[in-house]
Structure 1
Amino acid sequence: MQRDHSLGALLRWGLSAGLLAGSFAGWPAAGLAQTPPTVPPAPASSLPYQARALVAGVRFVGNETTKEQFIQSQLKTRKDREFDPEVVQADVRRLATTGRFHKVDTYTQETPEGILVTFAFTERMSIREIKYLGNRNINDKTLAKQDGLEIGDSLTPYAVEEGRRKIEEYYHSKGFGKTQVAILEGDQSPDGRVVFVINEGQLERIASVKFVGNTIATDERLKTQIKSKPGFLWYLFKGQVDRKQIDEDIERLTAYYRALGFFNARIGRELQFSESGQWLTLTFVIDEGPRYVVRNVTVAGNEKFPTQTLLDQMELKSGDYFNLGKMNRDANSLRDIYGGQGHIFADIQADPRFLEEPGQLDLVYNVKEGGVWRASRVNVHIEGEHPHTREKVVLNRLSVRPGDILDTRELRASERRLKASQLFQNDPMTGETPQVVVRPPELQDAVGNVADGEGPRTGMYRGQSPGGSY
C-alpha cells in the first residue's frame, strides 16, 4: 500500500523522535551503581603572561607608484598593536602575492615607544603605455579590450605574453588565420612601454562547406548543426575562417551522430584554400560506422505502476534505432506519470547498456519512486521597490492548495499562467521569470514556493517584478 506523507507531519515526527532520543541519552542504565566522576587534578600553575613590545610605527620605503593606502590594506602589523615577527612575515607573503613588488624586505628598530617596523619595497615596473603597430583591420580600442592589460598594472613577462596570445587568438577568430603578433617592447622594457607588432596577413573567408560520407542526413541538414558557414550579401558579412570554431563544429557533428545511435562515428575536416589564400572550401569527412539498435527496453525499481503500463507510454521501442531525443522524452514521460500521482521527487535515470554484440544495446530506466507528497503550505514572496501586487493575485493563478497531492503537470500549468499574466518580469534570457519552485523536504517545511526571479521594474509589465523566491 502506498504511503501518503504530509511534509508537516514528517517534520513533527522528526522533532518528537529527536526529543525522545535526547531523553534516553540522559537516563542511567538500570541496575548499575552510580559512580561519581573522577575529578582530574588541577594543572600546575603556568608562567605569567609576558606582554610583547608594541609597534611604535610602520614605515614604507621604495613604493614610488604603489599608494600607501593599498599597502596598509594588506597589513595586519599596525601601530599600537603587539609586535609579532610571524605576523610581519605573513604580511610580507601577502604583499608578494599582489604581484606589484619584485622584492619586500623588513627592518625593525627598537625605540622607547616600542618597535619601529619598516617595509622596504623593490617595485615591479608598471605599465605606462600600450601601443599596437601594424593593425589595419582591427582598431586599437578593440584590441585594448582583448589583451587584458591596463595602464598601471605590473609589467611582468607573463602578463605581456598573455596579452600577445590573446590578441593573436582574437585575430584568428575573426578570419585572420595567419596573423602573427610579436612583442617589440614590454617583457624587458625600462620605461613601462608595451608595444605589440602585428602582421595581420590575409583575411580568410569560407567559400563553401561540403560533406563527404554522410548517408543518414543530407548536407543541408548537417549544415544546421555547424556554425562555420559562408557569409551573406556577396560574402561581405560573416563567413570568416575560425579554426577553433571548425574544431567545435566537428564536436557538434559527432554529438549529432551519436544522438542518432552512431556511437562509433568519426568526423574529420579538410581545408582547401584558393590560390590567393583568401577563400576556403571546408569539407567535413564523415565515417558514420554502424547504427546501434535497441534490443530490449526495461524499467527497474518500479512498484506503483506495472512495467508494461510504463512501457506502453514510451516512444522508443525494442528493435528501434537508438535515438537520444526519444530516450529523453521517454524519461520525462515517466517523470510526469509519477509526478502526476504525487511522486514529485521521483528519480528517473535512463541507462543505455552496450552489449558484446556490435551495434546493439539494452535500455534500462532506473526508477526511485519516493513517497507521495502533499502541499504543506504555499508561500508567496513579492519583492521590489514598491511591491503592490497582492498575494491573492498570485494564488488565483495556481492550481495547488494546501493539502493537495502535488502534481508536476499542474505546477507547470500554474507557472505558465503566471508568465502569461504579464504582471511580473519575464525575461528567459536572464533567467528573470516567474517560477513555481518545489523545495525538497529536507530544506524547509513549506513545499510550495512560487515565482523565482528578480529584475528591475519596467513599463512593459503591469504590476511588480518578483524577486527572491515565491
Structure 2
Amino acid sequence: MRYKIRKMTLIVLLSTALSNPDAVYASASDRAQSNETTVPIVNIGKKDVIKSIEFENNRAYKDKTLLKKLDFEVDDYIDPILAESGRNIISEFYRSKGFPHVEVMLDRKKLSEGKIIYTIVEGPRLKIKSIRFTGNKAIKTGDLRNTIKTKTRSWILWPVYYTEEKIKADVEKLRTLYFNRGFLNHRIVAQGQSHITFIIEEGPLYKIRNITFTGNTIFETEALRAELTLESGQIYYQQKAQAHTKRILKLYREDGYVDAEVWQQHRWIPETNLVDVEFKITEGRQFRIGKVEITGNEQVHDKVIRRILDEYDFSPGELYNAHIAPRQGGGQLERYVQTMTMSEEAIIRPAQPTARAPERRDAIVDIKEGMTGIVNPGIAMGSDSGVIGQLIWQQRNFDVQDWPENFEEFITMRSFTGAGQSLRVALEPGTVVSYYSVTFTEPYFQDKPTSLDVVGSSWERWRESHNEKKKKGYVGFEKRLKNRWRPSFGFRVENVEVFDLDFDAPQEIV
C-alpha cells in the first residue's frame, strides 16, 4: 500500500507541474521577495480498496484455491476492469478442469462497497468415456489413437476430463498426420464431449508433378537435385519434403554460407491431384572464420575449448561451418563443447563482418560453466557385504597443476580444475568387503583427438575359510576419426591372491 501511494503522489505531482508550474514552485522573483520556503501541496483523491473477495456456490474448489488464481488481493485498489478479468480467469480455470458449461457472474453493484463477489454455476464435470474415429480409410484407427493425447483413462485408473483446448490440440495433431501422409485437402472435426467422435474426410492423395529450385547460383540445380530422393510422380509427403529442405540447407552452411536459408512450398494444380514443389534459396555470402573469442569460462582453460573446436575444423581460416554451429544456436558443435567441458550451456554465434575483413566472421563462444566436481560420502549395510563406508571424490575438469591455496579451495572443488581431464577416486572400506579405485581420463592426449584412460583398482574380501584380494590395472587409447569410427586398444593386468586358508577352504582354490 505504501508503495502504491508514493507512486500515485509522484504521478499527480508531475502532472500538476506540467499543467501549472506555478502551482508547484513559486517564481524566482517571488522567492527573492520572500524568505519563506514554498512547499507544494497536492491533494490526492481517495480511491477505494478491495475489502473482501468472496465466492458463492463453489463446490469443487475451495475459496483458497480460487483466490490464488486471481491477479489481485484484498487491500489492492479496486478496479472494475480487473474484477472482470478475474471472472474470466475463474471461468478458464474451471474449463481447464473439465467443467465446460461453467458460468461465473460478477456482482457489479457491490464494487462500490469494496466487495468483489463471484457467483459460480459449476455445471457437471464431464469425463471422457469413449473416443471414436469415422471416415478414416488410409490410416488405421490404432495409429490415430496413438497420435492424439486425449485418452479415456490416465495411468489406467484415473479418469480424464473433457477440455476444449485438448480436443482442439488433438485435431491439429491429426491434421498434421494426414498432411504429412500426402492428404493435403482433408477435413477433420471433433464432436461430443463425454463421447468424442473425430469425423474425418481424407480427400485424395496428392502427387508431385514438378520440382524446381529458385535463387541458387552457387550450386547447380542438378547438384541440388542429387541431394533429394523426391521425384515427379511420387506421393507428396510434407515431412519428407521438409527433411530435404534441411539437406539443401546443410549443403550451403557446411560450405561457409552462414546466412543461407531454404524454404519449401507446394502449389496445387487446379482440377488435378498434383502439386508443384519449389525450393526457394537465399544463399548469402560465403565466410571464413576470423578470430575465435571465448567468454564466460572462469575455470576451464581456453586451450581446452579450442582443441574441441579444432577437432571439428572450427578454427581461424577455415570455412565457417554454420551447420554444426548455426547462428540461432542449438548446433552439434555447441552440444559437444557443452558435454566435453561439463558446462550448463555453450553458445557459438558469428559476429558481424568488419570493413577490414568483409569475407571473415569472428566466432564468439560463450560458456556458462556448471559444477564439475563432486564429493560423495556415504555408508551402506548388506547381509552379505557387511558395513561399507564410501567416499568418492570426482573432478571432471581436472588439472593436476592447479593445487589449492588453502583447505577451503579443496573442499569447495575450486582447485585441481581447468585442464578438461577427469579424475575419480573411490574409497570404500568395509568390514567384509573393501574396494578402492582411481580412474583418470585425458580426452585429448598430446592435444590430439585421442583419449587416454588409466584405471587402477583393489578389491579385498574376508571370508570364513579364506581371504581374497584382486588388483587390476588398465591403460587404453581411443582415436576419434572424422568418419565417427573409433579404433581403440589397451593393456590390462590383473593379480588375484588367496591367503589365510583354513582347513575347510574350498578345494578349487587350494
TM-score range normalised by the length of the shorter chain: 0.5 to 0.7
Q: 2:336 aligns with which of 410, 417, 422?
A: 417
Using the size of structure 2 for normalisation, the TM-score is: 0.63
Unaligned runs of 5+ in 1: 1-63, 90-105, 273-279, 426-432, 465-470
Could you tell me how far 1:402 is from its partner in structure 2?
A: 0.7
Establish whether residue 169 from structure 1 lines up as the match of residue 92 from structure 2: yes
Measure the CA separation in 2 of the matches of 1:250 and 1:310. Answer: 36
Could you say if the C-alpha distance between residues 117 and 169 of structure 1 is closer, same or farther in structure 2, counting changes exceeding 3 Å? same
The residue matched to 1:447 in structure 2 has which SS? Answer: strand
Say if 2:129 is the partner of 1:207: yes
Partner SS, residue 281 of structure 2: strand
Question: 1:146 is matched with which residue?
Answer: 69
1:424, distance to aligned residue in structure 2 (A): 0.2
- The C-alpha deviation readout for 1:142-194, integer Å capped at 9, x for no partner, is 3122232222322232222221121112111101222222234x553344222
Q: CA deviation at 1:76?
A: 5.4
Which residue is equivalent to 2:141? 219
CA distance in 2, matches of 1:423, 1:307: 43
Scaled by the length of structure 1, the TM-score of the pair is 0.68
Count residues in correspondence: 362
Q: Distance in 1 between matches of 2:172 and 2:13?
A: 51
Letter of the structure 1 residue corresponding to residue 124 of structure 2: Q
Q: Conserved in 2, the CA contact under 8 Å of 1:257 and 1:265? A: yes
The Cα RMSD (Å) is 3.4
Q: Which runs of 4+ in 1 moved over 6 A?
A: 106-111, 442-445, 458-461
Shift of 1:391: 0.9
Matched, 1:155 2:78: yes
Q: Distance in 1 between matches of 2:292 and 2:255?
A: 19
Task: Give 2:299's aligned residue.
Answer: 388
Structure 1 or 2: larger strand share?
A: 2
| 8 A contact 1:109–1:116 mirrored in 2 | no
Equivalent residue, structure 2, for 1:23: none
Please state whether the residue corresponding to 2:129 is helix, strand or coil. Answer: strand
SS in 1 for 2:111: coil
- Cross-structure match for 2:242: 328
The share of aligned pairs that are identical, in percent, is 25
Could you tell me how far apart the structure 2 residues matched to 1:458 and 1:86 are? 61
Q: Does the aligned pair in 2 maintain the 1:157–1:188 contact within 8 Å? A: no
With 282-291 and 134-143 compared, the bigger mean Cα shift is at: 134-143
Work out which structure has the larger RCO, using CA pairs closer than 8 Å and 6 or more positions apart in sequence: 1
- The letter for the 1-side match of 2:217 is E
Distance 1:315 1:208, change over 3 A: farther
Q: What is the CA distance between 1:129 and its match in structure 2?
A: 1.8
Aligned to 1:8: none
Give the Cα separation in 1 of the matches to 2:143 and 2:364.
42
- Over 3 Å counting, the alpha-carbon distance change for 1:165 and 1:421 in structure 2 is same
1:193 alignment partner in structure 2: 115
- In the other structure, the counterpart of 1:268 is 189
- 2:12, 2:42 within 8 Å by CA — same for their partners in 1? no
- Please give the alpha-carbon distance, in whole angstroms, between the structure 1 residues aligned to 2:18 and 2:140: 74
The equivalences for 1:52-91 within 5 A come to 68-75=5-12, 77=14, 84-86=17-19
Mapped to 2, the partners of 1:321 and 1:440 lie a distance apart of 42
Q: Judging changes above 3 Å, is the alpha-carbon distance between structure 1 residues 119 and 335 closer, same or farther for their aligned structure 2 residues?
A: same
1:350 offset after TM fit, Å? 1.6
Distance 1:451 1:319 in 2: 48
Amino acid in structure 2 at the alignment position of 1:289: G
> 2:361 and 2:184 mapped to 1: Cα distance?
45
Secondary structure of the structure 1 residue equivalent to 2:110: coil
Aligned mate of 1:252, from 156, 165, 173: 173
Q: Distance in 1 between matches of 2:372 and 2:106?
A: 49
Q: What aligned pairs does 1:303-322 form with structure 2 within 5 A after superposition?
A: 303-322=217-236
Counterpart position of 1:447: 362
Aligned-residue offset at 1:459: 6.2
Cα shift at 1:124: 3.4
* CA shift for structure 1 position 359: 2.1
Aligned pairs (5 A) from 1:265-414: 265-271=186-192, 280-382=194-296, 387-398=298-309, 399=312, 400-409=314-323, 411=325, 412-414=331-333
- Aligned counterparts of 2:46 and 2:181: Cα–Cα separation in 1: 60
Q: Distance in 2 between matches of 1:166 and 1:147?
A: 7
- C-alpha separation between the residues in 1 aligned to 2:353 and 2:123? 62
Q: Which residue of 1 aligns with 2:164?
A: 243
Q: Within 2, Cα distance between the matches of 1:333 and 1:312?
A: 11
Aligned residue type for 2:365: V
- Specify the alignment match of 2:350 in structure 1: 438
Q: 1:342 to 1:139 in 2, by over 3 A?
A: same
Instruction: Give distance in 1, aligned partners of 2:37 and 2:46.
Output: 28
8 Å contact from structure 2 (residues 343, 370) kept in 1: no
The alpha-carbon distance between structure 1 residues 233 and 424, as it changes in their structure 2 partners (threshold 3 A), is closer
Residues 105-144 of structure 1, C-alpha deviation per residue, up to 9 Å, x if partnerless?
A: x999998658765443433321122122333322333312
Which runs of no fewer than 5 residues in structure 2 stay unpaired? 326-330, 375-394, 398-413, 415-510
- The change in CA–CA distance for 1:291 and 1:123 in structure 2 (over 3 A counts) is farther
Q: Which amino acid aligns with 2:302?
A: E
- For the 8 Å contact 1:157–1:187, the answer to whether it is kept is no
1:311: how far off? 1.0
One-letter identity of the residue aligned with 2:300: T
